[in-house]
Amino acid sequence: MAELSLTLKLPFYRLNQSKALEFERLTVVNTEIANDLLCVDKKERKKLTSAAFRHVEIGSMWINQTIRNTNTKTKVKHFKRMWLEVNNQGFEIVKSGELYTVCFCLYRGRKGRIPLSIHGASHSQVLNKIIQGTANLGSLKLCKSKKGIWYALVSVSMEVPDAISVEHWIGVDRGQNNIAVAALPKGFGKFWKGGRVKGLRRQFQRTRAQLQSAKQFKEVKRLEQRERRIMTHINHVISKQLVQFAQDFGMGLRFEDLSGCRQTMRQHKKTKSDAANNRDSWAFYQLELFTRYKAIRYGVPVESVPAPYTSKSDHRNGVIGKRNGDWFKGFDGYRCNADWNASQNIGQWLGFSCPLNLWRYRATLRYQTAATAMVAADVEGGVDSSPFN
């Protein structure tokens, strides 16, 4: 059994204004406590407990957690906001009717817990496991969004079944024109277009340039955060669909290993100046990260394979061809979508092999050298796991 850790974002249901204002006030008090702790020597700070803050109305369990959080932030000089947080001993989750309720008490000296209803939304399965005792609670943190909505962030750890054994794999090719292309073995592919993302990035780039010229730097930072949230949401949606796609066909997912690609990819100045094509802002790793933890939850295996020659090799025979924009052309004139071809190579990857005897192919009255790079690892006369150079 594998262990999965999740953080549930649960908005409060019909939270009245008085409670929201009380959350805000106690958060300010908690932030003042954290900043006061920064003035204490680090050695002495580690010895402090909630007994040193008896004059504060916040409960002792919340204060102790604030002390622990402050001690972990060794390089912080000042906290803008320290959210209220408590461990699993300070709250519980129950179900009342159709709604789920989180019960906790913020004040010192009070034993009764105040129940607050929360939206279960898509987390109802996990919340039911918590109530049944098959999932373990972590900590609870009270946070407020920029729209003024209060949330309960609950960390949960639970055991999930190990990934199933599969015979076939779905290759996932990531890019900028197509955010992701998932192709079945020798079958159709599912495309997630990147035109919308490119348009959004260019739009945000133009707006930021205008705001920077007007010296409105706070608004620039706000737009950067908004752009990041939008791209994160898009990656969440795509990763969920990728896992569902693999579940429907009973296959695993294979990604190309792009670690360190930012140091090896070359970009022209014109490319870097365009936010839509600049690879430095490409959120490829986040998509893989989201897909991996969602796949663990549903028992879908995920693998990484080496990236060299996945886009340049013909998926039929592994012979290196030519890629021109969105199209791939084999040495015999075969044409197909370049991203679909790459996803086929990723899905049927068995290992690199470099034949020592390169053969020649005659076409249009001239010789062309065709080097096989994507073939089985056990080819006779080949060198395993070493890409063609």
**DSSP conformation letters of 56-86:** S-B-HHHHHHHHHHHHH--S-S--S---EEE
- Token duo for residue 103: 């019960």
pLDDT above 70: residue 43: yes
CA-based angle 92:98:86, to the nearest 5?
Answer: 20
pLDDT given for residue 258 in this prediction: 86
- Token duo for residue 276: 């839509």
pLDDT given for residue 367 in this prediction: 40
Distance CA 40, CA 150 (A): 31
pLDDT above 50: residue 384: no
Determine what percent of the chain is predicted with pLDDT higher than 90.
50
| Secondary structure letter of residue 54 according to DSSP | T
Are the C-beta atoms of 70 and 36 separated by less than 8 Å? Answer: no
Distance CA 279, CA 84 (A): 38
Phi, psi angles (nearest 5°) of residue 45: -65, -35
pLDDT given for residue 351 in this prediction: 60
Q: What is the mean pLDDT of residues 310-331?
A: 86
* pLDDT single digits (tens) 238-287: 999 999 999 999 999 999 988 877 777 777 888 888 888 887 778 888 99
pLDDT given for residue 377 in this prediction: 39
Distance CA 240, CA 244 (A): 6
Structural domain spans, the chain = 2-160, 169-306
pLDDT above 60: residue 357: no
pLDDT given for residue 323 in this prediction: 85
pLDDT given for residue 369 in this prediction: 47
* pLDDT single digits (tens) 124-165: 889 999 999 999 999 999 999 988 999 999 999 988 888 888
Distance CA 32, CA 84 (A): 12
Distance CA 338, CA 318 (A): 14
| Secondary structure letter of residue 51 according to DSSP | G
Q: What is the mean pLDDT of residues 57-77?
A: 92
Which of 5-14, 85-94, 216-225, 349-358 has the weakest average pLDDT?
349-358
| Band of pLDDT at residue 388, cut at 50, 70 and 90 | very low
Determine what percent of the chain is predicted with pLDDT higher than 70.
90
Q: Nearest Cα to 168, choosing from 287, 256, 248? A: 248
pLDDT given for residue 135 in this prediction: 92
Distance CA 123, CA 151 (A): 14
Distance CA 19, CA 62 (A): 17
Looking at per-residue pLDDT, the higher value among 328 and 280 belongs to 328
Which of 7-21, 254-268, 286-300, 344-358 has the weakest average pLDDT?
344-358
pLDDT above 90: residue 12: yes
**One-letter amino acid identity for 81?**
R
Distance CA 192, CA 189 (A): 10
| Band of pLDDT at residue 176, cut at 50, 70 and 90 | confident
Mean pLDDT of the chain: 85
CA 364: distance to chain centroid? Answer: 49
pLDDT given for residue 315 in this prediction: 86
Question: Which contiguous run of DSSP H or E holds residue 22?
Answer: helix 17-38
pLDDT given for residue 260 in this prediction: 78
Q: What is the mean pLDDT of residues 211-217?
A: 92
Residues 6+ apart with CB under 8 A from 84: 23, 26, 27, 30, 58, 62, 66, 106, 141, 142
Which of 14-28, 40-54, 147-161, 362-376 has the weakest average pLDDT?
362-376
pLDDT above 90: residue 213: yes
Q: What is the mean pLDDT of residues 11-15?
A: 91
Beta bridge partners of 255: 172, 304
